Chains A and B, each alone.
Chain A
Amino acid sequence: MTTKREKTVKWGEEPKIGWVEAMYLPAVMSGVATAVRHAFSGKPMTRQYPDVEPEIPPNYRGVHRLNRDEAGRVKCVACYMCQTACPANCIEIIAAPAPKDDPHWKDRDKYPATFTIDELRCIYCGMCEEACPVDAIELTSIYDLTGLSREEMVFDKEKLLSVFDKTVQSGKDPVRTNRGVLGPASEEAQSAKQGPPPPGRGRHG
């Protein structure tokens, strides 16, 4: 065992201790000293959460929202990218051809007839946001989501759009991304370097 050691295996050596350490007592005392030092440091890290609300960074991954485009329609084109990327299988979309007869929808081919996210199943990894090619799905800084039933926590399209309306109105959650250019949620330095985001050039909104 000690003679032949496979090269592919990394062997960890038990740390060698000298005879002073072998007495253990100095180490025990230094451990106790550390504990005592912390006990008397007087600088607790505790946040008094319900009394004092934390400051949420703008790239916090909280409750989802579905963004609206300039015309107020849901930006989502029902491409299923978020559903494909979702590791928790919490997104469910049913796509439909856009109502072409409606002049309001004339320039759109496909839209989500239903769009539901199970906020309980979601792990808030942000992959949907990354995957979205039209910046339709975004995570907001709402962190204190509660509900009284499981059904209530399954957000449908209307609810997700209302999250957009609410968060954008409050000004706390600006639209994070814009056509591949990182929005204010990313590092400021980077967006300053790139300048304002160019207007969208794609066909669909």
Chain B
Amino acid sequence: MSSSAICDPQVEVDVRGPRFAAGITVVVLAVSLLTMGTAVAAVLLAIQTIVFGLGAFVGLKAQPYGIIFRKVVQPRIAPASEFEAIAPPRFAALVGFIFTAVALIGLATGVTAIAYVAVAFALAAAFLNSAFGFCLGCEMFLLGKRTFSR
């Protein structure tokens, strides 16, 4: 995915939207980690992978937790005062998608250890995003670019 494809500086969202979505993600990932090895964990991980995928590949407008925020939460709270570009949260969704997809592959192939590790990392990133507003994936982006491209 090229950065230009997902970086349109004209499109902005209420900063509280991605933070709210990350909060739900924390709950979903925590429960799936707690119940790892059961069907509950597998279903939750599958749902979360689809949610991340929609956010990363279709757009934040299609991200289910974001839709809940706009339809249910936003009308009940103060109007948005801070906005942010959509590129960082979309990139974060892509990173999340990779981690939960790896976890699902781990479960499908019977290597549960991979699922534990991948979900633990995804949980840490989602928690930092919702509680502190940090986008861990975004911060790793330059380091990765520096290391892997000429």
Please determine whether chains A and B interact with each other in the same assembly. no
